Amino acid sequence: MSDRSSVAPVDEVAGWLAAARDILVLTGAGISTDSGIPDFRGPNGVWTRDPQAAKLFTLDAYVADPAIRRRAWLGRRDHPAWSAQPNAAHASLVELERSGRLAAIVTQNIDGLHQRAGNSPDKVIEIHGTMSEVECLNCDDRTGMDEALVRVAAGEDDPDCRRCGGILKAATISFGQSLHEPTLRRAVRAAQSCDLLIAVGTSLTVQPAASLVEVAATAGARVVIVNAAATPYDPIADAVLREPIGTVLPVLLGAPS
């Protein structure tokens, strides 16, 4: 990757966004922390506080160990996303869509807060899946998470598939699990055709989602990264901003904070 990064003031970056006509937004866990959902790798992240928790998101460990599945189901039951509300950063992306300049939001998040904030579902590409559904790892049957959590509340600590008896898991992408190819292709097309990509609240360490930054840059788009910590793609960004997401994103997008 060639180095093209620069330190640009917020008002200059806001000008780039105002002039752009096809903006792709790539969001990670950092955009939802102001809604009370912890990130994974930050100072207070889920994996920072409990490195063993990463096993809950690793497919091989999940399939092999019923104890991990039981812990995962408790985590789904108690997940803060169920009561979380969209924050100012989410709201600013709704305003961006209303302006007609939002190409798409590619989100690594599974919390559904973009849609809850008011972004159109057809504008949101959930590249890592959704926690609102459950899938069977054997027969691929999909059902609502609500139904599975009712079973957990009734005493089933590791509910199985009612169709085939297979292992159930949230319809999210775990480590060791392939992305949904049509979803990935859609995200890549959006990165190839945008004129500006802004990555918000993502460490840009998980592939292939992170590679969308380079796809966009190679196609000639400007790249802006808004994240508290350094990312591997900072060197190719046109601007890197470290300001709090809930404060700076509404300013960048001209939305009320």
Nearest to 93 by CA among 119, 115, 111, 125: 119
Nearest to 57 by CA among 42, 44, 75: 75
SS3 state of residue 149: helix
Tokens of 214: 């380079």
Tokens of 148: 């599975």
Q: Is 114 a catalytic residue?
A: no
- Residue type, position 161, single letter: C
Between CA 117 and CA 224 the distance in angstroms is: 23
Nearest to 238 by CA among 1, 3, 2, 4: 4
CB-side neighbour CA atoms (13 Å) of 191: 24
Give the helix/strand (H/E) hosting 64.
Answer: helix 59-64
Evaluate the CA torsion angle 114, 116, 121, 126 in order and state its sign: positive
Between CA 257 and CA 127 the distance in angstroms is: 27
SS3 state of residue 206: coil
At what angle are helices 245-252 and 88-98 packed, to 10 degrees? 20
The residue annotated as part of the active site, out of 90, 114, 128, 180, is 128
| Catalytic annotation, residues | 128
